[in-house]
A and B are shown apart, each in its own frame.
Chain A
């Protein structure tokens, strides 16, 4: 076996690589470099465009909540917090959902159901985000008001769930305080990122070595016992990596958030309350109507988002690569 593998390798080394081979290698290297160059170009472009706004705002860019670029008062304190809040709501809903889906698909579902489910999940990931947004605005929002009210009524002691201006004992209280909130936007984004997270997790789970699974069964484990002792520890890297990739997507989600939220320029930690914001939605909302200064300010906000997603994605990459399932799939 080893000799069979070794022989062709030795033969290839003996012959100096020919022209086509070299050309191919150059093309591949260029393609690889293009990715890096593009990344760098996006970064430099954003940064050079943002410089004039950053010079005006200085360090207060990080601490100012308002967004009035024409009068020189603007910063990302509110929008960046809003982005992170929406993304965290999305992730805390999407991850349990995706874990359940992935475990069912990879461990429990019978063959035909599994194929159908995999197709459906891929389909969910392929639905354009504007469709999710419209559906969220026109349909889901009205149906989630009840849940939001219930949460705020009974869990208002949890600071994030507080809703000012709501009075559950007043039958005439307006329901609009629960609409256009971080929670509703996060929920829609959760439905968009869940399929992505789910596919990565499923991939990781299905790679759990068959020998270890059978070993667990042989030691008397139930199926859940086997999942707990073999599949989950093995797929941990995939789970974390999938979550981080989902987080990256959730941070950058634009149009669905844009359609749902009512933008406010203060730090709004009450996730159930009307009023939210995100960097990408702000850019989508304002880019078309901005003068040069406002545009530069939007670019600066873009830089912040770019750096944030970069960090998240690098972290995800390194975690996935370091884990067992990830290392195996990389190799």
Chain B
């Protein structure tokens, strides 16, 4: 009898358990698969893990934008993510478009940043500044050394070492490469065409997703954003620089270069400077166009706002629309729709923290309209005001861009640069007054003991390493990393180059090594041989 009661109890518990489960199961989301851009991958992965609590499974594969477009076109994935629309890529003119109706939906904004690994002596440089043509020349192997006068002109406060520059580019078809080359095609066509010609591509060279390589240069190619950023972050890669989304530099605690804009300020790709820049982006608002909602960034590159980061852009999700339940399963549409509602509204709050920039209100609105067209979507009326998107305001202007602080005086061209770190490396790099055009406005950065963290708009994670003041105060031998990998020693970054005493001639060295090896062999093998010969000779 008691046995039976126990069984009943177990059954009751089980019933309760499953009953408890049902509400969660009721939503019954079908898992969906997507692939594409590694530029946006960090944001998508975060959003996907955020919506897991609602029972949604979003499998995302960062295979590169080109691959994402291809897989979406051939129907292998439910959605794709790409930085550029179909048919923009010069190299793949024959690119296959999807044979079913689809649309572009902006998902997140961000800056294509230039993450670098550079040390002066033992301390990491975290405040490098580069102007556009210098950058273009670096990635086209025209400028090959860090102590090049052009780089020196951008960084009067740094004495950069005579190291070789190692540009690290993407070996796979990549939207980041496409964004970068779009900018070069638009701004520095002659530099870019000369390089393309050297690489054996036909000129004039257009936007490309696969970066051309010239054999015999120091340029190194790696696959995926993780690949290039991982390569740059290795200890052996001092002197390397790559193009990658800002979030990768944040995650790896590495600095990014401040890029010069048209108002002659050097600006970091923070959420705010990207938001300001994208005010000048021209969005295709023709709903009947196949490229509805795609961007023209010429205005961004040429934006006169002092706070602009010139290489800012949006990335898109490719979604299936307007179909009669043929290819795309309606159940999947529900997942894709709810996921889209999530990241267009709530998800945007996190963009800044992840290293991206939230979408402005007009694009969120347009995106929400696109979501309605997904087959099988559970259409919602989203109250945009409740999204807490930091760009939204009552009057429709972009709050984030409006409140973005103007760059400091020390970010202006010709001044001794700010000492504050960039990207994921917030530690300061001491600057010297070696620059010829030192303006009084830079005093804050070079005054000993001045706390620079209060003066930077971007130092969200500032570790308060305000101890650097010319670097003379601390013994270089004891000055170990203070703030993460960006810390480095506190020895003076403006070190004086040292020439080493002359070394042996390499040929002589080889000869000496061979002689030494011979001697070693003779000493070990010789005695037994001699002994044996003596023995043999002694025997009758």
Interface on A for B, CB 8 Å cutoff?
66, 68, 70-71, 73, 137-138, 141-142, 145, 153-154, 156-157, 164-165, 168-169, 171-180, 258-259, 262-266, 268, 274-275, 285-286, 288-294
Identify 9 residue pairs between A and B in the complex whose beta-carbon atoms are under 8 Å apart, listed by A's number. A141-B236, A145-B236, A153-B506, A174-B238, A178-B236, A265-B215, A274-B220, A285-B223, A288-B64
How far is A153 from B506 in the complex, measured between Cα atoms in Å? 8
Contact of A288 among B67, B161, B213 (CB under 8 A): B67
**Contact at B171–A263, with CB atoms within 8 Å?**
yes
Q: Can you list, as one digit per residue, whether each of B122-165 has a CB less than 8 Å from chain A (1) or not (0)?
A: 00000000000000000000000000000000000000011110
Known: A174-B166, A285-B172. A70 touches B218 (CB 8 A): no
Output the least CB separation between A68 and chain B (Å).
Answer: 7
Chain A residues with CB under 8 Å of B222's CB are 180, 262
Q: Can you list, as one digit per residue, whether each of B229-243 has a CB less than 8 Å from chain A (1) or not (0)?
A: 011001111111000
How far is A49 from B173 in the complex, measured between Cα atoms in Å? 22
Contact of B218 among A142, A176, A265 (CB under 8 A): A176
Known: A165-B218, A180-B222. A154 touches B91 (CB 8 A): no
Q: Which of B486-540 contact A (CB under 8 A)?
A: 500, 503, 506, 509-510, 513
- B221 in the interface (beta carbon within 8 A): yes
Chain A residues with CB under 8 Å of B173's CB are 286, 289
Contact of A289 among B64, B221, B237, B503 (CB under 8 A): B64
Q: Which of B70-127 contact A (CB under 8 A)?
A: 70-71, 91-96
Chain B residues with CB under 8 Å of A142's CB are 234-236
Chain A residues with CB under 8 Å of B503's CB are 169
- B66 in the interface (beta carbon within 8 A): yes
**Contact at B71–A288, with CB atoms within 8 Å?**
yes
**Contact at A285–B236, with CB atoms within 8 Å?**
no
Known: A70-B91, A265-B215, A291-B95. A176 touches B240 (CB 8 A): yes
Q: Number of residues in B with C-beta < 8 Å to the partner?
A: 49
Number of A-B contacts (CB under 8 A): 115
Chain A residues with CB under 8 Å of B164's CB are 165, 173-174
Known: A263-B221, A265-B215. A174 touches B239 (CB 8 A): yes
Given contacts A71-B202, A165-B218, A289-B64, 5 further A-B contacts (CB under 8 A): A68-B201, A154-B513, A176-B237, A291-B94, A291-B95
**Contact at B67–A179, with CB atoms within 8 Å?**
no
**Contact at A288–B70, with CB atoms within 8 Å?**
yes
Output the least CB separation between B216 and chain A (Å).
Answer: 7
Chain B residues with CB under 8 Å of A275's CB are 215, 220
Chain B residues with CB under 8 Å of A171's CB are 500
- B63 in the interface (beta carbon within 8 A): yes
Output the least CB separation between A250 and chain B (Å).
Answer: 21
**Contact at B218–A179, with CB atoms within 8 Å?**
no
Chain B residues with CB under 8 Å of A156's CB are 506
Chain B residues with CB under 8 Å of A180's CB are 220, 222, 231
How far is A228 from B32 in the complex, measured between Cα atoms in Å? 62
